[in-house]
């Protein structure tokens, strides 16, 4: 389901007739940055993603960083950061894009927020018309997000980078995620 370009998810245990939640990507401001740095994953998941404070600090020093907060309704629910080589000055002839950081706070996980946010990130990357694919890599360990990405259309590349398994989403052939994937 989509409303004005934003994905809508039904909260877990959704009761028909009750309100759906709009998932959106928003710029982080001086008013919201503390809320975003307070978002966290479970202790077991901390090996898969840096804290948002670290990611934002790295973004300060990287010309390739594009980042947004993920909101579920009006609640800050997660964080996403792209490694986007087209942001360099000047950009390389064949820039690459990769999902650098992606997290949904523990209390919002398992409700479709991650899938809806990923759909919007993919739409953003696709809309730039500069990339043939979007890369992501994950630490291969119990509880890793491999299935989450495979379900979103990413495929194994056979590459391992710094111990992380590299997946790729082709932006040429396949249609983006459909709204039906959001409502399971
Ligand atoms: C991966 C993550 C962003 C997914 O966000 P989310 O909001 O929980 O995702 P969704 O609710 O849209 O989940 C979609 C499906 O993927 C599954 N899924 C989500 N995370 C998963 C994981 N780590 N392993 C296996 N399946 C996972 C969900 O169970 C769900 O399937 P279901 O509907 O059959 O239950 C979130 O779990 C997270 O922040 N994990 C910790 C940090 C992390 O691993 N980030 C990625 C770094 S590369």
Report which of residues 175 and 78 the model is more confident about: 78
Q: Tell me if 8 sits within 8 A of 22, measured CB to CB.
A: yes
Go through the domains of the chain in sequence order and give each one's CATH number.
Answer: 2-170 (3.40.630.30)
**pLDDT digit string, tens, across residues 86-136:** 999 999 999 999 999 999 999 999 999 999 999 999 999 999 999 999 999
Give the model's pLDDT for residue 148.
98
CA of 148 to the centre of ligand 1 (A): 5
CA of 109 to the centre of ligand 1 (A): 7
Least confident interval from 51-60, 67-76, 174-183: 174-183
How far CA 70 is from CA of 24, 39, 80, 103, 105, in Å, comes to 6, 10, 7, 9, 10
Give the model's pLDDT for residue 139.
97
Q: Alpha-carbon Rg of the chain, whole angstroms?
A: 16
**pLDDT digit string, tens, across residues 137-152:** 999 999 999 999 999 9
**pLDDT digit string, tens, across residues 168-184:** 999 985 454 544 333 33
Q: 132 CB contacts (<8 Å, ≥6 apart)?
A: 170, 171, 172
> 111 in ligand 1 pocket by Cβ < 6 Å?
yes
- Which one, of 107, 116, 105, 108, lies nearest residue 184 by Cα? 116
What's the average model confidence in pLDDT over 14-23? 71
Give the model's pLDDT for residue 184.
32
Residue 54 above 50 pLDDT?
yes
- Which one, of 74, 124, 83, 113, lies nearest residue 101 by Cα? 83
Q: Reduced to 3 states, what is the DSSP secondary structure of residue 48?
A: coil
Residue 47 above 80 pLDDT?
yes
CA of 164 to the centre of ligand 1 (A): 17
Q: Reduced to 3 states, what is the DSSP secondary structure of residue 180?
A: helix
Q: What are the backbone dihedrals phi and psi of residue 37, each rounded to the nearest 5 degrees, phi first?
A: -75, -15
Give the model's pLDDT for residue 10.
64
């Amino acid at each position: 389901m989509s409303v004005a370009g934003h994905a809508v998810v039904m909260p877990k245990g959704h009761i028909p007739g009750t309100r759906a939640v709009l998932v959106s990507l928003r710029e982080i401001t001086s008013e919201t940055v503390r809320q975003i740095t307070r978002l966290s994953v479970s202790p077991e998941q901390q090996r898969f993603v840096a804290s948002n404070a670290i990611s934002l600090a790295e973004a300060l020093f990287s010309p390739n960083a594009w980042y947004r907060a993920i909101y579920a309704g009006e609640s800050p629910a997660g964080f996403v950061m792209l490694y986007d080589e087209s942001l360099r000055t000047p950009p390389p002839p064949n820039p690459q894009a990769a999902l650098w950081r992606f997290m949904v706070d523990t209390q919002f996980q398992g409700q479709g927020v991650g899938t809806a946010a990923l759909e919007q990130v993919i739409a953003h990357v696709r809309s730039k018309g500069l990339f043939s694919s979007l890369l992501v890599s994950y630490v291969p360990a119990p509880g890793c997000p491999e299935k989450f990405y495979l379900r979103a259309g990413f495929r194994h590349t056979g590459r391992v980078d710094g111990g992380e398994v590299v997946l790729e989403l082709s932006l040429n052939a396949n249609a983006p995620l459909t709204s039906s994937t959001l409502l399971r």
